A and B are shown apart, each in its own frame.
Chain A
């Protein structure tokens, strides 16, 4: 058993996007705040802080989680994947590139959580129907772009990822 007094800050070590990291947190520190303030991983956005908006969605040990509904101390020894793991500005992941092509974001606040969710969906279900994408997207709130270009981007990424093995569309050209 691990016991942490409420008035103590303790060291937490975990893997973030495959890299070993450590930081300090109180028992009441939320994972989203720990990622942003302590680890400097500001890709994860903190929105509603009660599990509704989806902006802070990450994966813990391969399972999707609202990082506002997880305590930082719960991730001791676990593996967290955040939006930073999906690509870099110079080398966007297939899903990120599709979001850019389809203008699937405006302010970008909700985008990190949506990318993490949709990455999870495409890993589990590589060829989702549009209805399925919309259903999964219902776990996220976007207040400026609207959902249509997001759905298009996810479906396009799914097609390209499926064709990737045969070398189709290597240049990510506009659609």
Chain B
């Protein structure tokens, strides 16, 4: 339960981190809060040759509202997001999901970028990002590109990020007053990995359902509001379509059952919240 040998570099700036990742590519990993990466290194599930520590890259530690978007820097900590004034106002869905991320102690150190890069299928921040239609801002010595969160996650612990790229930030659309949102997570204990997690966003025309923990990556379904009339059939189709995870905590049959039984309530809550907002404005 100790990590194997590696060379360590504490990058003094993001520019230095880009150079190191460019030089070492697949041999290197970027270390943000370490809440997943170091556990994996301790268990020897990860065995990098070079660890690039981002803890001095203060330019990655920010949260700001820019027009109709909210940009969260990769090194912004989860606990800081819980305390940030803009979270409740502009990111209410994410705000309601934050208490479910790990524990008080791990959120103190865990970061937004680290959770996105790690890409655990049951993780809350990736689920929020795909459900809300966020973008991932990737930077490297080659420049910057933006990838839709819905295209970013490829499978368990696998993302669209190239080995020389660093997640710079996650850019969320700001949800101020026009949508209704709801979230529910199924786990054996609070703070455990989600067996299944459901996030929903509803506006006047459409509903979006984000599903975490069920398949190898967070997955999104989008329906016109009218489809809610026969949501059971839609969810049965979704359950068939997904390649569902199975482990000793919950088999694929149970996870499909959760999708069909819990998701309708979450969608209904989002729609009802949207109606309340609609009648207020």
Chain A residues engaging chain B, CB cutoff 8 angstroms: 1-7, 26-28, 30, 33, 48-51, 54, 57, 63-66, 68-71, 73-74, 76, 117, 120-121, 135-136, 138-140
Contact = CB atoms under 8 A, between A and B. Distances in A.
B35 to A, nearest CB: 6
B9 interface: yes
Interface stretch (B103-111, B149-157, B175-183, B217-225): B103-111
Contacts of B1: 48-50
B84 interface: no
Contacts of B237: none
Contact of A7 (B5, B10, B109): B5
B38 A51 contact: yes
A34 B116 CA distance: 30
Contacts of A117: 104-105
Contacts of A135: 99, 104, 190
B39 interface: yes
Contacts of A66: 35, 105-106, 109
7 contacts: A1-B10, A49-B42, A50-B42, A54-B105, A65-B108, A117-B104, A135-B104
Nearest to B4: A28
Nearest to A120: B108
Contacts of A51: 35, 38-39, 106
* A interface majority secondary structure: mixed
B88 interface: no
A70 B8 contact: no
Interface footprint category on B: 35 or more
Contacts of B142: none
A141 to B, nearest CB: 11
A69 B34 contact: yes
A63 B11 contact: no
B10 A121 contact: no
A4 B31 CA distance: 15
Most buried by B among A1, A6, A117: A1
Interface in B1-21: 1-12, 16, 20
B6 A49 contact: no
Contacts of A48: 1
Contact of B108 (A28, A64, A68): A64
B255 interface: no
Contacts of B139: none
Given A135-B104, A139-B106, A5 B38 contact: no
A57 B2 contact: no
Nearest to A62: B108
Contacts of B35: 51, 66, 69
Nearest to B99: A135
Given A27-B51, A69-B34, A136 B3 contact: no
The 4 A-B residue pairs whose C-beta atoms are closest, nearest first, are A139-B103, A27-B8, A49-B1, A64-B108
